[in-house]
Structure 1
């Protein structure tokens, strides 16, 4: 039987491995693999096949509404009239809102990602007998494994 588990980069991995070795699991039956970090920069704009759930138009639409009302109100006094100035206000409001959202996504969130320092996870694979599976699963969960899966190996 093989037991797969994932851990965050922490000292709990070493503690789990040493506990497993103390309980009789041989070192040759424990396999630890660190996942690679993403090297390319994340894309800001979504495409048809991938979306991160972040909208760029939400602030733009709200500001377009506010600026169009203000533009239409002021437009009664100006030469082109309220309809043109309402449309001009909507376009200006949308562009300002889109610019604000673009700035927060590109500059501020990139800075936050760098400060947070995302580290990849680590996969731990343990080969064991079916009778030891419950004990190993409990040890891994007690040392803060993110997830554990058991797979029966056909011989």
Structure 2
């Protein structure tokens, strides 16, 4: 039987491995696989399948629409006509809205200090069925993020 657990890279990981070795699990039956952290910042544009909850174009679209309507309304009395003033209003409103969204999001993210994400380690322990409960208890006692069994 295999027990698979995910733990943060910390002192608790070392304590869990040491405790398992003290309780009769051989060193060669414990495998620790460190996971790599993703490097880099998030993307600016969202997709249908992945979104970070921050939209840059909502405010730009709203202000673009409002300015386009105002341009078309007041364009009836201005020289170039409602169509051109509507298009000018659309682009002006979009640019103003985009700048406002960028400034607001920059201010929000500047105020938040990002906590570094700790690296995770996946432990795979090969043990007998009789030892499975003990192994799971040791892992949960040492702050495992998740534990699973694979019956072989």
CA distance in 2: counterparts of 1:101 and 1:25, whole angstroms: 56
Q: Which digits, 9 at most, give the CA deviation of each residue in 1:79-105, with x for residues without a partner? A: 224443233222222244445657888
Give the unaligned 5+ runs of structure 2.
none
Corresponding position of 2:147: 148
Q: State the superposition RMSD in angstroms.
A: 3.4
Match of 2:25 in 1: 25
Partner of residue 84, structure 1: 84
- Which residue of 2 is the match for residue 117 of structure 1? 116
TM (norm. structure 2) is 0.72
With over 3 angstroms needed to count, the CA separation of the structure-2 counterparts of 1:78 and 1:120, relative to structure 1, is: farther
Normalising by structure 1, we get a TM-score of: 0.71
Verify: 1:66 aligned to 2:80, yes or no: no
- SS of the equivalent of 2:33 reads strand
Residue 46 of structure 1 deviates from its aligned partner by: 5.5
Moved more, 58-67 or 94-103: 94-103
Q: CA deviation at 1:140?
A: 1.2
- C-alpha deviation, 1:128, in angstroms: 0.5
- Higher mean C-alpha displacement, 94-103 vs 7-16: 94-103
Partners of 1:9 and 1:105 in 2: CA distance:
32
Note if contact 1:44-1:105 (Cα within 8 Å) is conserved in structure 2. no
Cα distance, 1:72 vs structure 2: 4.1
